[in-house]
């Protein structure tokens, strides 16, 4: 196996003067796209295994959420035109003469995900599903009939560890605002939350968008009072998590203007901007670790919805992060770890064309001290890729 271990002698991201990190919450249109398409893939994997004993070819990684038309109003507005979810790419609809009702699997997966995550969205009234899945090409279908399933594409992925304090804080902000306990106390907040963290030296500034649900906002005074309280709750929550950073500052719904009436407030009917403002697309949201970190290396693959057996764009995107995390946790003496895997189409996934790691040692640690341990972890992780793919198929690793 071609494993290359190199040393990095730059400054870790956490020590650079500036850092920018973004996270799109579960109700953001891009995240909705990613999460639903991933749920469809998981449902197909389960159906294929139950009927045929193994996963068949599919890629549910092309999708578009077309915004509907809404009329938010203080006290409760209305939906004029529903959102439209266009689901595209390929899925096996027939195997060994047996038809597979892919359309029914898609509908069930969509309805379940929406019901589980978007409190105010009724999929039967607020969402139209346009299923454009088609059978796969003969050559890609054939990959799944071979004794050794090879990579379906020539692709590369990169993962890193550990998360910086800024990355952890951005993640903590969104998960706090979208937690069930927070929604119980602030039911007026929708699931469409976006956090942009901008760090300069030790000061972290967050610009946060939180969609308010108009049916829970009786008047403008309540809106602005609740927004101020939410901001204080968020600052208090994050301040208690500070380690190396000096302070955290937050601004919520920065476009608001109290002089402009309803137009000066971030109001929605359903708690997501997809109801009437913003469209979403698979691959435009968070990375597989849940973040968009601009100071980090990144690949171009959209992992959500890809099959977990042969599609290296998915398998390697997640495995590089898991491998980097294990190297950092187990080898010791490392400030930062970055892992790259590159495939060649048709070649077994456990035999990438190149597997490499760049290690940033702590002071006094030489590359020779840490390289063997890192190489061993990479080789072991790749050797266990079949079990890892099975875990992906069961949805054990979130992709957004």
Nearest CA-CA partner of 105 in 123, 93, 119: 93
Output the pLDDT for position 138.
45
Instruction: Write down the pTM of the prediction.
Output: 0.94
Percent of the chain residues past pLDDT 70, beyond the cut: 96
d(CA 384, CA 135): 30
pLDDT tens sequence across 366-395: 999 999 999 999 999 999 999 999 999 999
- Structural domains of the chain ordered from first start: 3-14+154-163+285-393 (3.30.300.280), 21-25+165-280 (3.30.300.340), 29-143 (3.30.300.10)
Output the pLDDT for position 133.
94
pLDDT confidence tier of residue 310, bands split at 50, 70 and 90? confident
Mean pLDDT, to the nearest integer, of 163-178? 98
Output the pLDDT for position 273.
98
Output the pLDDT for position 145.
54
Output the pLDDT for position 187.
97
Output the pLDDT for position 139.
46
pLDDT tens sequence across 93-121: 999 999 999 999 999 999 999 999 999 99
> Is the predicted pLDDT of residue 210 greater than 90, yes or no?
yes
> Is the predicted pLDDT of residue 181 greater than 50, yes or no?
yes
Output the pLDDT for position 148.
54
**Average pLDDT value over all residues in the chain:** 94
Mean pLDDT, to the nearest integer, of 238-259? 96
pLDDT tens sequence across 21-50: 999 999 999 999 999 999 999 999 999 999
SS (H, E, C) 280-321: EECCCCCCCCCCEECCCCCCCCCCCCECCCCCHHHHHHHHHH
User: Do 316 and 300 contact (CB within 8 A), yes or no?
Assistant: no
Mean pLDDT, to the nearest integer, of 53-79? 95
| Segments in the chain forming alpha helices (H) | 29-52, 102-117, 123-126, 138-143, 165-177, 180-185, 220-239, 312-331, 367-383, 385-393
Distance of CA 323 to the CA centre of its chain: 18
Output the pLDDT for position 144.
54
pLDDT tens sequence across 312-338: 999 999 999 999 999 999 999 999 999
Output the pLDDT for position 142.
52
pLDDT confidence tier of residue 10, bands split at 50, 70 and 90? confident
Nearest CA-CA partner of 86 in 14, 45, 36: 36
Backbone angles phi, psi at 208, to 5 degrees: -120, 130
Q: Which helix (H) or strand (E) covers residue 99, if one does?
A: strand 98-99
pLDDT confidence tier of residue 300, bands split at 50, 70 and 90? confident
pLDDT tens sequence across 124-149: 999 999 999 998 654 455 555 544 56
Output the pLDDT for position 214.
97
> Using the 8-state DSSP alphabet, how is residue 164 labeled?
P
> Is the predicted pLDDT of residue 399 greater than 50, yes or no?
yes
């Amino acid at each position: 196996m071609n494993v290359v271990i190199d040393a990095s002698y730059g400054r870790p991201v956490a020590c650079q003067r500036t850092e920018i990190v973004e996270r799109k919450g579960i109700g953001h249109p891009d995240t909705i796209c990613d999460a639903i398409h991933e749920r469809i893939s998981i449902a197909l994997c389960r159906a294929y295994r139950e009927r045929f004993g193994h996963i068949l070819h599919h890629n549910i990684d092309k999708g578009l959420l077309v915004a509907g038309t809404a009329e938010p109003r203080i006290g409760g507005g209305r939906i004029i035109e529903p959102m439209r979810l266009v689901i595209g790419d390929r899925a096996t609809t027939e195997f060994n003469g047996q038809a597979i009702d892919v359309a029914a699997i898609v509908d069930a997966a969509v309805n379940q995900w929406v019901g589980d995550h978007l409190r105010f969205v009724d999929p039967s009234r607020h969402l139209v599903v346009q299923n454009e899945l088609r059978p796969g090409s003969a050559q890609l279908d054939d990959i799944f009939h071979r004794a050794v399933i090879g990579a379906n594409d020539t692709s590369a992925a990169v993962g890193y560890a550990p998360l910086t304090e800024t990355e952890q804080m951005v993640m903590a902000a969104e998960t706090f605002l979208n937690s069930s306990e927070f929604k119980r106390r602030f039911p007026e907040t929708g699931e469409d939350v976006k956090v942009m963290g901008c760090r300069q030296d030790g000061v972290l500034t967050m610009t946060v968008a939180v969609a308010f649900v108009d049916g829970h906002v009786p008047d403008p005074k309540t809106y602005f009072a609740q927004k101020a309280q939410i901001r204080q709750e968020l600052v208090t929550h994050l301040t208690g998590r500070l380690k190396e950073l000096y302070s955290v500052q937050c601004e919520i719904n920065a476009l608001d203007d109290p002089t402009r009436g309803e137009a000066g407030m971030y109001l929605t009917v359903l708690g997501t901007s997809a109801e009437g403002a913003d469209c979403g697309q698979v691959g435009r949201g968070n990375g597989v670790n849940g973040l968009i970190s601009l100071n980090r290396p990144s690949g171009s693959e959209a992992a959500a919805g890809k099959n977990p057996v042969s599609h290296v764009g998915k398998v390697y995107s997640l495995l590089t992060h898991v491998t980097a995390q294990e190297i950092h946790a187990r080898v010791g003496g490392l400030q930062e770890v970055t892992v790259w895997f590159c495939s060649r189409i048709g070649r077994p996934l456990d035999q990438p064309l190149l597997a490499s790691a760049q290690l940033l040692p702590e002071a006094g640690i030489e590359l020779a001290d840490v390289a063997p341990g890192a190489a061993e972890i990479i080789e072991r992780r790749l050797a266990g890729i079949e079990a890892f793919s099975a875990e992906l198929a069961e949805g054990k690793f979130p992709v957004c």
